Structures are given as structure tokens and as C-alpha cells.
Structure 1
Amino acid sequence: MSIGPISLVTILSPELDQSVAMYQKAFEWQVASVNPQITPEQAQRWGANKLAGAPTVTVAGINGGVRFIQSQEHQTPVPLKTFGWSALEVCVDDVFFYTDRAIKAGFTLLNEPVALSGSDKPLPLIAAQLAGINGEVLYITQILDEMPNFELPNVKKESGSIFICVLGASDLEASRKVLEEGFGLRRASDRHVAIKVLNKVYDKPLTDTHRLSSLQLNGRNAIEIDQMPAEAVNRVVKDGLLPPGISIVSVVGQSDQEIFLKLPDGAGLEILPHN
């Protein structure tokens, strides 16, 4: 089964209104749905029975959106300190403009906009990393040119769209194997690079390198898998709830029904029927 593009990123939050407002102010996203409750069938499929009946709000851009689920019981993780889905990445046509907007909207700057590093030279990407209030990390990325071996969005037409989700893995190869073998995803990259935001969060030299590998999705989207530092820990998941922070990434797939599976490190992947 082929999958992509990314449709939804699901995040638990005690503050739905504030969470939604931050993404609206940063990217001018629109509220797509308000207060549809999580059904018992959804909660059971996710293994999160306590979320049955929980209100939700979804806010979305041109492509992709964020679904916030009301929860008061979870323990919000420290951004980038745990395994699992760690970040959503939004492409823009002016990274400096949107980074400034995101800071004014309430996001916390983790790393200022800088050119991303390839194995031997900078990539045609400039990205900033910021933290939301629910343990999620937001990458804001300007795509300057075509990326070798990648299919990425045209930011002139799709500025403000989610195009990558980042999986922080305890074992990069184990997580990648599940996605490659389960969905036939093409490996677009595998390299060791200095990920400055990880080095800052873990108080390491900025030149320390980390392994990352990206897998191409349909719809000019991708999944990036980062090998997390040894100091990272498992996310605290309370009985009957989803993992806090980014809980689930939902992608469109060739299926006539919703499918849910857990990747390594408890990362939820949901396959939504292709309309």
C-alpha cells in the first residue's frame, strides 16, 4: 500500500483555544472542524479508551492540518527529549517572516533560521525550529530549489502546508524498516549531519553529528527519521490515553477504511481512505 500525503497531525492539549490560535496567527490557517468528539470506535482503535467523547478542534492550511484533542491528564513532554513523533514541518515562502510571526503567536524559538546541512554541502533549505505549548516541535522551512532525490512542494503555491513529519527514533533502522517494508516507501536520504537544534537541546557541541534518514511519501511529502541522542527517554503514556506531544500522524492511503498501527517507540500512524 502506498501512502501520502500527510493529512493530520494529532496532538493532546489541555488548551484547545490557545493551541489553535497559535497556528492561526502563525500561518493564517483556518479552523476546519470544531468540537466533533472522539468516537468510542476511534478511541478503541487507538487503544485510548479514555479519550472517547473528548472534544477536538482541527486547524488546517492548504495541505495538512493539526487536530487537537482535549486532555487534562497527560504529562506534556519536553520538546525533543523523548522518542516518538517529535515535529511537524511546514513549508513557507519566507522563513524569516513566518518565524517572526510564530514567535509573536506564542511559539518558543529553539533555533533561528539557518541553512540545513547535507553530507558535504548546505542544502537548498532554510529552516527554523520552535516549540509549541503541547510538547510538539514546529519546523518552519523555506525550500529554495529542487532537492536531489526528493519530491517537495512548490512553496509559491503551497506556502503554509505541512510537508514533513519527524520521527525521533531509539533505533532508526528498526523504525525505517517498518515503513519501508510495510508501505514500500522510497529511501530519499541517509546521512550524518550536525542537527543544531538537537545539539542545543542536549547541550552538545554544535558540530556533533546525528544520523537521519528521509522516506518519500506520495503528494510531495516525506517522513524524516532522526536517531535520537542516547539521553532521550520513552514518553510517559498514561493508561487509556495516546502518547502526549504529537500522538498520531495520519496519511492518505489506498484503503477503504481507517487503519491504525503503532510504529516503534509508540508512534501512531493512521491510514485514511483516499477520497
Structure 2
Amino acid sequence: MTPGTILGGLSTVPNLEEGLRAYRDVLGLELVERGELPKDLANSWGCPANVRSPYAVFRPVSGEPCWFRLVEQPAHANFRPTRTYGWAAFECTVEDVWRWPKELPADLFTIVGMPKNIANMKPTFIPMQALGPGREMVYLNEVLTPQSDLFLPPAKSPVDRIFICVLATPDREASVAWYVDALGFDRGTDYTIPYTMINKAFDLSAGTQTTLTMVQKDRMPIVEVDDYPEAATHRPRHEGMLPPGNALVTLAVNDLDACQVDWIASPALRDGALYEGRRAGTTHGRAGELLELVETQ
């Protein structure tokens, strides 16, 4: 694991059993851990009301070092995907994107974007977008060829690792600068595209352009930072609980003490899936996103 490796994405779901069906039985991920959220971990995320919440951890059958976590909590009536700041989507690499439109059951997934090439970008991957059982956004992307400025990993299993985390922010430049200055990552290329998901969510014309910037480490993409329209708002959430939908991202870093961030709680050694005895700490980014950092050294 190198600095910037996406170790995991955490989503909230109103019913963990439905989450198990979606991630294990449909997407084919391996269930590696299940239990109730311990107090110290919930507090490290600033979410004391999630203590003892049922949770599950999954991993691609390829064995790639990336963990998908689900935490059960009540749905929030005012949460609308792709309308608020914070983590907007987890982009996963898949072997065959064209199989998924007919294999995602409607009681667990809502398809919001069928597979297609992206305008204004070279045909390096074919994306598809769907909402999971917690209204979390999951992109299923089939990588075709690597870009010159980015390494896009081809899948090693039907649904494989998360290779880009999408961040919605009120100030793209400030968010990018924070990842560069506070965490030592690199600023990548800017792209301006007609972003279908954003245009649909905000009832904008199909040709409306959105600018995004890739935060990366060398050629490895990490965070896609998206400009959001002025109509976007901060995400509603239950008091003391995780944000609904795409809630938290976990990244690898060399040294937690070198990170220029304000910790929610002091970093601590943690056991179990994803951590494996390493030290971890959680902070808030400039868009209010929950970002957990795990030390590799």
C-alpha cells in the first residue's frame, strides 16, 4: 500500500441485511467481517450515536487491499443523492460493465446512468452509475486503456477495488489545495465535461459544463473534486450519526504525524479488517467530508 491508496469507502444503509444481499450476493464481494460498531471507532469518526450499530466489511475476491464497509442507521428523509456536499460517489473498476444493467435487482439498486462513453474525454473507461440500498452512489467503471496522466487499474475480479472517490465541494480550489498541502498529494488535470449526474440532480440542461480536478499521487488517482452548483447544500444527517449515503473514505498515508489536519480524536492503533493493527485517525476536509487516514509505516 502506497500513500494515497484508497483503502475503503463506507456507506450507510437502513437495513444491513439488504446491504449484504447487494454487496455480497449481487456484486460478488467477499464478506470478511461483521459485528457491532465499537465505541472507540464510532467516536473517532465523531459519530457517538453509531455505537453498536450493525456493520459489515467486504473485500473484492481478487484480494485487492480495498474494503467496502456498510453501517446500519435510519434513513434520513431529507437526503437526496448528488445534491449535497461531501462524498458523492465511489468509483469501482469492473471487468464487464455491460453485464450490470440486467443484473442489478430493482429492489436493491436504482440505475441512474447506463454505460456510455464520456464526452470531452478519451475513451479510456466506460462508466455506469447506480444507487445502492442506502442511496449511496456506486460507479461501475470498465477500464479500457490507461490515460497518459493517470493509471486507471483494470479489474482483477468482476467488481474490484475503488479507484476514485468523488467529492462534491462548494470550493473546488480550496478542497484541492487542502489535499495537496495537508496530505502531500498531487494536483492533477482539470476536466470540463457535461456531467450527467449533476445536471440531472439539479435539473440543469444536458449541455451544462462542470469542472473537476483530480487529486492524485504520481499517476494514481485518488479524489475527483467536483464543482457543485450554488443550489447544493450541506448534507442533512441524524444527530451524532454518520452522513447518509457515501459517508466516509479511508486513505493510506506514510505518517499520520506529518498530516496537517485537525483530528476528531487522537489517532490510535486499530485491529480488524482494513486496519490490521495500523494506526488510524479521522478528520474533516474542506467540504465537511469525513476522511480516515491509516498509517502504512
User: Which residue matches 2:57?
Assistant: 58
| Residue 271 in structure 1 maps to residue 293 in structure 2 | yes
Q: What's the CA shift for 1:147?
A: 0.9
User: Which residue matches 1:172?
Assistant: 172
Alignment length (residue pairs) = 271
Q: What's the CA shift for 1:159?
A: 5.0
Comparing 164-173 with 21-30, which one deviates more in the overlay?
21-30
Distance in 1, Cα, partners of 2:57 & 2:217:
22
Is contact 1:75-1:244 (8 Å) kept? no
Comparing 49-58 with 151-160, which one deviates more in the overlay?
151-160
Distance in 2, Cα, partners of 1:105 & 1:171:
36
For residues 107-158 of structure 1, give each alpha carbon's deviation from its aligned partner in whole angstroms, at most 9, with x where no partner exists. Answer: 111111111233xx53311111111221211111111111120022133568
User: Which residue matches 1:19?
Assistant: 19
Distance in 1, Cα, partners of 2:71 & 2:114:
29
Q: Say if 1:66 and 1:159 are closer, same or farther in 2 by CA, change over 3 A.
A: closer
Give the 3-state SS of the residue equivalent to 2:117 in structure 1: strand
For residues 163-183 of structure 1, give each alpha carbon's deviation from its aligned partner in whole angstroms, at most 9, with x where no partner exists. Answer: 111011111111111101112
For residues 234-265 of structure 1, give each alpha carbon's deviation from its aligned partner in whole angstroms, at most 9, with x where no partner exists. Answer: 11123211211111101122245211110123
Distance in 2, Cα, partners of 1:242 & 1:157:
30
User: Which residue matches 1:260?
Assistant: 282
User: Which residue matches 2:71?
Assistant: 69
User: Which residue matches 2:40?
Assistant: 41
User: Which residue matches 2:272?
Assistant: none
Q: Say if 1:8 and 1:198 are closer, same or farther in 2 by CA, change over 3 A.
A: same
Distance in 2, Cα, partners of 1:170 & 1:133:
27
Comparing 104-113 with 215-224, which one deviates more in the overlay?
215-224
Give the 3-state SS of the residue equivalent to 1:272 in structure 2: strand
TM-score normalised to structure 2 length: 0.84
Q: What's the CA shift for 1:72?
A: 2.4
Distance in 2, Cα, partners of 1:181 & 1:244:
28
Is contact 1:27-1:98 (8 Å) kept? no
User: Which residue matches 1:86?
Assistant: 88
Distance in 2, Cα, partners of 1:105 & 1:143:
28
Matches within 5 A, 1:1-275: 3-35=3-35, 37-61=36-60, 62=62, 63=64, 64-72=66-74, 74-75=76-77, 77-103=79-105, 106-118=108-120, 121-155=121-155, 159-217=159-217, 220-255=220-255, 257-274=279-296
Amino acid at match of 2:45: W
Amino acid at match of 2:68: V
Is contact 1:6-1:221 (8 Å) kept? no
What is the RMSD computed on CA atoms of the aligned residues? 2.2
For residues 176-221 of structure 1, give each alpha carbon's deviation from its aligned partner in whole angstroms, at most 9, with x where no partner exists. Answer: 1110111221222212111112212222221110011111147944
Percent sequence identity is 24
- Contiguous gaps of at least 5 residues in structure 1: none
Distance in 2, Cα, partners of 1:188 & 1:219:
9
Comparing 91-100 with 216-225, which one deviates more in the overlay?
216-225
Give the 3-state SS of the residue equivalent to 1:117 in structure 2: coil
- Contiguous gaps of at least 5 residues in structure 2: 256-277
Distance in 2, Cα, partners of 1:60 & 1:98:
19
Give the 3-state SS of the residue equivalent to 2:70 in structure 1: strand
Comparing 59-68 with 224-233, which one deviates more in the overlay?
59-68
Is contact 1:6-1:163 (8 Å) kept? yes
Q: What's the CA shift for 1:9?
A: 1.1
Distance in 1, Cα, partners of 2:163 & 2:75:
30
